[in-house]
């Protein structure tokens, strides 16, 4: 801990827990503050529910400009993290914080902002925590830190063996906060001779993946905030900075709760199977039902491998109508897990991929949990969250009509109000949004007319018409974590100059239905090559709308 301002880029997680008694002074502070924090959260949650903040606190790493919803209307809306950047952080005191894993390290960084210099010893999905062997340098960092954040529950036992000085250090152990400790059953064993040489890890009856528990995340956040306040001293600028970040985080947590409660209000019920119980805490919180055969789960959680009969039972469940989702851990994809994955792919089931460490494209723990929750709830089709099995074929009749490009309205200033509205919600200025959409909307095709199986394209007063056949659909996965569907059509017969050979529609729809507007991808090579286009998605609205009506529709959308 130092008395000088530290320059450190804050990440974005979330807080609100009570530390274990072993944390010394922090425990008493939390006891005094607990009722106030609970009231704050209740008020925030109620406010979120009444205000309909279903997506307001969805915290993501900055989304890729080219990989958003592949041409959908979201495609330039860079989601704001919902927390301050730390530019206004006042830190007369700074802390050295060491976390065993980056899931908890990201939370500590978000809550501390520039006042916390956070090091996560395991900081990449390329590292397998079950194989991790701490170095002398790791143990030294743990011993020297002002604040240490551990997962506990036997997950990072190597870190718990460090030589801590509890008279000087504050230790936040999430397993202790939750009353979950390692059992003799919980151990990591590495079987080099198992199927395909894959390592198995065994947790017995203990599920140590506590960062997927909303309750554990809430408790951890509170404990970390209490540690910052206690060490900085109440009334200091550092304590005030930490409290501000904590309050912002609580607002994001309220949005997360609102998202879940809205799904419950709509009676969204999901069933799932899992190659391992990595996100079961979160899925239980969502009210999802685990239909993984118990024999398969028990085998994977112990030293035994599932029998042929148990594996077949699991594959049959994944392939049938009993489950909506298969959950896989890409860090633990052995032969058995891969067989279930293959069954989900062949039966067009939704697959949720959840790593153990915070993925590189996610900056906050709560943002990551919110993303997975949206993927599991899968009812926000417009923004790219849907079940794979709900996607259906469509015909060209869904896009029939006369359509006008919106690009002229972007260049002549008609859509400036739309860009200004995006700037208020996103993380770019109106001018930056306009530049972004200039790339996205740009086209020389002023009008498109669709009737029957024919499409006509008008450029500079010249119209070219071709006949098109349906070529199926493709589901595209985006770096942000959402998805999009493109419906493909290929020209047949003689194709005149000016008519594209391949056309792909994206309009947020995943089943038959009349399109209100669409984004179109056009190419002269192949469907596969055209699928690679992510930056340019000319957008069309009905030709009957005036410029002002198009702008109004966009604002509403």
Residue 522 in contact with residue 505, Cβ under 8 Å?
Answer: no
Kindly provide the residue ranges of all beta strands, DSSP E only, lying in 191-287, ordered along the sequence: 271-274
Q: Enumerate residues 6+ apart whose C-beta is below 8 A from 530.
A: 502, 504, 521, 522, 523
| 507: CB partners within 8 A, 6+ apart | 72, 398, 399, 515, 516, 517, 518, 519
Q: Residue 12: in which H helix or E strand, if any? A: none
Looking at the structure, give the CATH architecture of the domain made up of residues 95-179+206-259. 3-Layer(aba) Sandwich (3.40)
Tell how strand 454-459 and strand 325-328 pair up: unpaired
CATH numeric code, 268-378: 3.40.50.1980
Residue boundaries of the structural domains of the chain? 95-179+206-259, 268-378, 396-556
Mean pLDDT of the chain: 83
Say how far apart CA 243 and CA 226 lie, in whole Å. 9
Q: What's the pTM value of the predicted model, to 2 decimals?
A: 0.81
**Token pair belonging to 516:** 């209100």
Average pLDDT over every residue of 544-557: 94
CATH number of 396-556: 2.40.128.20
User: Which residues make Cβ contacts (< 8 Å) with residue 181, sequence separation at least 6?
Assistant: 152, 153, 154, 175
Check pLDDT > 80 for residue 397. Answer: yes
Say yes or no to pLDDT of 50 above 70. Answer: no
For CA atoms 63, 66, 67, 71, the dihedral sign is positive
Residue-by-residue DSSP string for 59-73? --SPPPTTTSSTTST
Q: Beta partners for 485? A: 475
pLDDT score of 2: 57
Please state, in angstroms and as integers, the Cα–Cα distance from residue 314 to each residue in 197, 273, 309, 346, 384, following that order: 22, 8, 9, 14, 28
Strand 116-122 to 95-101 pairing: parallel
Q: Using a pLDDT cut of 90, give the percent of the chain over it.
A: 68
- Which pLDDT band, with edges at 50, 70 and 90, does 130 fall under? low
Question: Is 477 buried (19+), middle (13-18) or exposed (0-12) by CB count in 10 A?
Answer: middle
> What is the C-alpha to C-alpha distance for residues 401 and 434, in angstroms, rounded to an integer?
28
Altogether, the residues listed in the chain come to a count of: 557
φ, ψ of residue 539 to 5 degrees: the values are -120, 140
Q: Which residues contact 58 (CB under 8 A, 6 or more apart)?
A: 79, 82, 255, 259, 367, 370, 371, 374
Distance CA 87, CA 96 (A): 19
CA atoms within 13 A of residue 111's CA, in its CB half-sphere: 34
Region of 479 on the Ramachandran plot (φ > 0 left; ψ -120 to 50 alpha; else beta): alpha
| Structure confidence by residue, pLDDT tens digits, 152-188 | 998 999 999 999 999 999 999 999 999 997 654 344 4
Q: Which of 29-33, 67-71, 149-153 has the highest mean pLDDT?
A: 149-153
Helix, strand, coil tally for the chain in percent (to 5): 40, 20, 40
31: Cα within 13 Å, side-chain hemisphere: 8
Q: Can you give the pLDDT at residue 263?
A: 96
Domains 95-179+206-259 and 396-556 share a fold: no
- Span 283-323, pLDDT tens digits: 999 999 999 998 888 877 766 778 889 889 999 999 999 99
pLDDT at 530 over 60: yes
Q: What is the DSSP letter of 131?
A: T
Backbone angles phi, psi at 232, to 5 degrees: -75, -30
**Regarding beta strands 325-328 and 271-274, do their DSSP bridges make them parallel or antiparallel, or are they unpaired?**
parallel
């Amino acid at each position: 801990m130092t008395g000088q301002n530290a320059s450190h880029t804050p990440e974005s997680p979330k807080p609100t827990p009570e530390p274990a008694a072993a944390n010394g002074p922090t425990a008493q502070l939390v006891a005094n503050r607990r009722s106030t924090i609970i009231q704050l959260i209740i008020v925030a949650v109620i406010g979120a529910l009444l205000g309909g903040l279903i997506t307001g606190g969805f915290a993501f790493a900055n989304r890729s400009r080219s990989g958003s919803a592949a041409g959908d209307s979201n495609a330039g809306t860079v989601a704001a993290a919902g927390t301050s950047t730390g530019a206004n952080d006042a830190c007369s005191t700074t802390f050295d914080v060491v976390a065993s894993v980056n899931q908890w390290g990201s939370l500590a960084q978000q809550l501390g902002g520039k006042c916390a210099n956070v090091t996560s010893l395991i900081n990449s999905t390329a590292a397998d925590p079950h194989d991790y062997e701490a170095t002398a340098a790791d143990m030294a960092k743990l011993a020297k830190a002002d604040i240490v954040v551990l997962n506990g529950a036997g997950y990072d036992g190597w870190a718990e063996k460090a030589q801590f000085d509890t008279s000087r250090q504050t230790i936040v152990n999430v397993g202790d906060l939750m009353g979950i400790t390692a059992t003799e059953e919980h151990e990591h064993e590495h079987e080099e001779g198992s199927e395909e040489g894959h390592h198995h890890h065994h947790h017995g009856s203990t599920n140590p993946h506590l960062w997927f528990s909303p309750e554990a995340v809430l408790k951890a956040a509170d404990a970390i905030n209490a540690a910052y306040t206690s060490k900085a001293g109440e009334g200091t600028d550092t304590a005030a900075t930490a409290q501000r970040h904590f309050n912002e985080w609580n607002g994001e947590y309220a949005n997360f709760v609102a998202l879940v409660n809205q799904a419950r209000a709509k009676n969204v019920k999901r069933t799932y199977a899992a190659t391992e119980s990595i996100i079961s805490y979160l899925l239980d919180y969502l009210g999802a039902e685990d239909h993984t055969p118990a024999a398969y789960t028990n085998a994977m959680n112990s030293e035994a491998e599932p029998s042929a009969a148990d594996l077949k039972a699991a594959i049959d469940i994944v392939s049938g109508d009993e489950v909506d989702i298969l959950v896989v851990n890409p860090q633990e994809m052995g032969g058995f897990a891969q067989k279930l994955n293959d069954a989900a792919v062949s039966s067009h089931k939704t697959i949720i991929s959840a790593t153990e460490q915070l993925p590189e494209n996610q900056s906050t723990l709560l943002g990551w949990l919110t993303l997975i929750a949206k993927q599991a709830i899968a009812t926000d089709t417009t923004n790219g969250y849907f079940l794979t099995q709900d996607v259906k074929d469509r015909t060209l009749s869904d896009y029939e009509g006369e359509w006008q490009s919106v690009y002229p309205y972007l260049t002549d200033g008609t859509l400036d109000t739309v860009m200004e509205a995006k700037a208020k919600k996103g993380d770019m200025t109106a001018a930056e949004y306009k530049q972004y959409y200039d790339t996205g909307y740009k086209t020389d095709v002023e009008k498109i007319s669709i009737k029957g199986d024919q499409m006509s394209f008008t450029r500079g007063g010249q119209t070219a018409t071709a006949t098109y056949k349906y070529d199926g659909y493709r589901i595209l996965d985006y770096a942000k974590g959402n998805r999009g569907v493109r419906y493909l059509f290929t020209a047949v017969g003689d194709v005149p100059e000016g008519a594209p050979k391949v056309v792909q529609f994206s309009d947020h729809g995943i089943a038959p239905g009349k399109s209100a507007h669409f984004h179109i991808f056009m190419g002269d090579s192949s469907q596969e090559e055209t699928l690679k286009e992510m930056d340019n998605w000319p957008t069309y609205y009905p030709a009957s709308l005036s410029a002002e009506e198009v702008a109004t529709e966009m604002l509403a959308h």
